[in-house]
Amino acid sequence: MAEVLVFVDHADGAVRKPTLELLTLARRLGDPVAVAVGAGAAATAGVLTEHGAVKVLTHEAAEYADYLVVPKVDALQAAVVAVSPVAVLVPSSAEGKEVAARLALRVGSGVITDAVDVEAGEQGPVATQSVFAAGFTTKSRVSKGVAVITVKPNSAAVEAAAAAGTVKELAVSFSALATGTKVTARTPRESTGRPELTEAAVVVSGGRGVGGAESFAVIEALADSLGAAVGASRAAVDAGWYPHTAQVGQTGKSVSPQLYIASGISGAIQHRAGMQTSKTIVAINKDAEAPIFDLVDYGVVGDLFDVVPQLTDEIKTRKG
Ligand code: FAD
């Protein structure tokens, strides 16, 4: 059976959820072969095997942490040469997209980024993308070389599927470019205890309607009742009410959760570009004419300071 490479995103051996989603998609195309590099790579094998990896190729070296992107491209290229896969699936993070683009260039392939679905096709894997602020859905396939596809988080369910999971050391020789950009410092972000925005199954966002930094506590309380990540519109970020890392939209992060709740957000096209592929969209806005209501599954016309606390209380009550 054809093999499909899945590039593993992990932190010291803890595999991130989008990688497990890629394994679900990879199984539709062939036998998933996971490629894990960096510190803790060998420790990823157990969970990858439980989710369908027939092989896990690992390589640990200091270069992956000390230099940006290129060592990972070198490793993935080595895996492509070793395996001759039908496709390479990479998580659609900023880094993942850079790795995918560089890999495609190196191996002379086409690349598709930000896919929201991948299926087998007669002439190779077919990727679904949601484009023009999700105004259109397109299907594409790579017509030259191995299909390199980056897939957005939450595009598939995580499914357990025990597989052989043979672990092998990947032989990687770093290119001259690998040490071109050195990481000079690292500062861990203060933990909020909430899930990562781009990976969260539920995102609760606030916009200019929230009215100030302190009022974001209302949004955070709803998020915490649902175990959600907190997002913000650019207006709220530009006003200094919430960090830029939480910005959703064209110039912020792209999210695709199961549930997106927008409060006090008008629904400008640049905001929609980052959230419109969410599975269920809920908006709370006091203006019944706000454009956000054109794309919602459920809309509440009302003052968010009336609606959101009631919603939070109701969720807490139902959760017991
Ligand atoms: P507004 O448009 O001002 O809307 C606020 C809403 O809150 C209104 O609909 C109002 O009715 C409602 N409201 C007010 N008070 C309450 C209340 N008490 N209860 C309920 N509702 C209330 N924007 C992004 O979000 N992300 C991006 O990445 C992004 N990138 C951009 C890139 C470019 C190149 C440009 C030009 C713009 C970009 N923008 C982006 C900005 C975008 O155009 C909008 O200006 C922005 O999204 C508006 O944010 P907002 O909806 O919070 O504010």
Binding site membership of 91 for ligand 1 (Cβ less than 6 Å): no
CA distances from 176 to 63, 74, 181, 253 (A): 12, 10, 11, 32
Which atom from ligand 1 is nearest to the alpha carbon of 236?
52
Residue 195 lies in a domain: no
pTM: 0.84
- Residue 271 CB less than 6 A away from ligand 1: yes
User: In 165-195, which positions are buried (b, 16+ CB within 10 angstroms) versus exposed (e)?
Assistant: bebeebebebeeebeeeeeeeeeeeeeeebb
Query: Containing domain of residue 209, as a range?
Result: 202-319
Strand 87-91 and strand 126-131: the pairing is: unpaired
Instruction: Please indicate, yes or no, if residue 29 is contained in any of the structural domains.
Output: yes
Q: What is the mean pLDDT of residues 26-46?
A: 98
Q: Flag whether pLDDT at 133 surpasses 80.
A: no
Task: Supply angle C-alpha 258, 260, 265, rounded to 5.
Answer: 165
Question: For 196, which DSSP code?
Answer: P
Residue minimizing CA distance to atom 31 of ligand 1? 270
- Average pLDDT rounded to a whole number, residues 259-277: 95
Domain at 145, CATH number? 3.40.50.620
Rounded mean pLDDT of the chain? Answer: 96
The pLDDT value given to residue 130: 87
Q: Give me 302's structure tokens.
A: 């009302």
Confidence of residue 132 (pLDDT cuts 50, 70, 90): confident
One domain, residues 165 and 211 = no
> Is there a single domain that holds both residue 33 and residue 145?
yes
Same domain for 255 and 172?
no
CB of 247 shorter than 6 A to ligand 1: yes
Ligand 1 center from residue 265 Cα (angstroms): 5
| Cβ proximity of 265 and 206 under 8 Å | yes
**How many independent structural domains does the chain possess?**
2
Ligand 1: does its nearest atom lie under 6 Å from the Cβ of 233?
Answer: yes
Indicate whether 46 and 175 sit together in one domain. Answer: yes
Which amino acid does the sequence have at 110? G
In a domain, 47, yes or no: yes
- Whether residue 224 sits in one domain with residue 102: no
104 within some domain: yes
Out of 204, 250, 305, give the residue to mutate to test ligand 1, the one with the largest number of ligand atoms within 8 Å of its CB.
250
Contact predicate 137/114, CB 8 Å: no
Q: Out of 119, 144, 179, pick the residue that ends a domain.
A: 179
pLDDT at residue 27 is higher than 80: yes
Mean pLDDT on 207-233: 98
